[in-house]
């Protein structure tokens, strides 16, 4: 894999790195981390797993409480996005307690079962069946205690995901996260707000690679040396 080093404002880079590509040996990284690269990068497996996990969320979370269908002008879609349906999933202050109860009581155990159901799923998340079984056992034993602790710490102000669907595929997603976290011991709190958009296009069309493979790419270990971060990157 080749990654072009970006120009970052206020972060000067050595001239030897400017506008250069870094060559990342994914097989070497996977070997050093003990991961199975084939399963981790298998797009079909990722899609199948995503579909099964999404089905659990849709089934467990009440449609009238958490889901609604929007019109294009309500969703704020970009002008170039065409959609057959626009679905909004929302957790707010009013339904966050119920959502957390559903998550711990129904959704998480099913997610663990799905991950354990296929070897390729376990490889994709780099977890063994024994680890997943232990997680499920601990969840069942400590569910009420863990749920009560999370409710003390976490305040969900807004958790929204808007998905535009065209021809059966998600072509645009808009997510908003607004949460508060409180330390029950000190009483100190912090807020976290995130907002991101993702747009997909030319789904299932033939991919044309316009960028040629760089012949002067810098190995990632050389990059670490140039930046003086070899120890942190494990080289």
pTM of this prediction? 0.67
Identify the pLDDT of residue 37.
52
Q: Is the dihedral of CA 202, 205, 207, 208 positive or negative?
A: negative
Identify the pLDDT of residue 194.
94
Of the two residues 140 and 224, the one the predictor is more confident about is 140
User: Which residues are CB-neighbours of 5 under 8 A, at least 6 positions away?
Assistant: 13, 17, 18, 19, 20, 21, 22, 223
pLDDT digit string (tens) for 117-174? 999 999 888 899 999 999 999 999 999 999 999 999 999 999 999 999 998 888 999 9
User: Which residues are CB-neighbours of 41 under 8 A, at least 6 positions away?
Assistant: 26
Identify the pLDDT of residue 4.
77
Identify the pLDDT of residue 76.
87
Nearest to 1 by CA among 34, 40, 50: 40
pLDDT digit string (tens) for 177-223? 999 999 988 889 999 999 999 888 777 777 776 777 777 788 877 77
Identify the pLDDT of residue 230.
43
pLDDT over threshold 70, residue 2 = yes
Element (H, E) at 172: strand 169-182
Identify the pLDDT of residue 5.
74
86-117 in b/e form (b: 16+ CB < 10 A) is bbbbbbeeebbeebbebbbeebbbbbbebbbe
Identify the pLDDT of residue 110.
96
pLDDT digit string (tens) for 85-107? 999 999 999 999 999 999 999 99
Angle between helices 43-60 and 108-117 (to 10 degrees): 150
pLDDT digit string (tens) for 25-57? 766 766 666 655 555 556 678 878 888 988 898
Identify the pLDDT of residue 109.
95
């Amino acid at each position: 894999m080749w990654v072009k080093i970006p120009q970052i404002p206020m972060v000067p880079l050595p001239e030897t790195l400017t506008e250069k590509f870094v060559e990342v040996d994914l097989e070497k990284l996977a070997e050093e981390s003990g991961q199975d690269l084939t399963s981790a990068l298998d797009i079909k497996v990722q899609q199948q797993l995503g579909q099964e996990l999404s089905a659990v969320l849709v089934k467990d979370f009440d449609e009238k409480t958490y889901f609604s269908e929007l019109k294009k002008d309500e969703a704020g879609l970009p002008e170039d996005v065409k959609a057959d349906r626009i679905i909004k999933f929302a957790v707010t202050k009013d339904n966050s307690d119920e959502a957390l109860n559903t998550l711990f009581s129904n959704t998480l155990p099913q997610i663990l079962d799905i991950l354990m159901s296929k070897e390729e799923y376990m490889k994709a998340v780099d977890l063994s069946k024994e680890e997943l079984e232990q997680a499920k056992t601990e969840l069942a034993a400590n569910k009420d205690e863990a749920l009560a602790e999370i409710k003390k710490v976490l305040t969900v102000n807004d958790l929204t995901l808007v998905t535009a669907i065209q021809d059966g595929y998600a072509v645009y997603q808009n997510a908003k996260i607004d949460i508060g976290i409180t330390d029950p011991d000190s009483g100190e709190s912090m807020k976290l707000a995130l907002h991101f958009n993702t747009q997909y296009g030319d789904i299932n069309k033939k991919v044309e690679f316009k960028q040629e493979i760089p012949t002067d790419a810098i190995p990632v270990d050389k990059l670490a040396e140039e930046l003086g971060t070899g120890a942190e990157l494990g080289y």
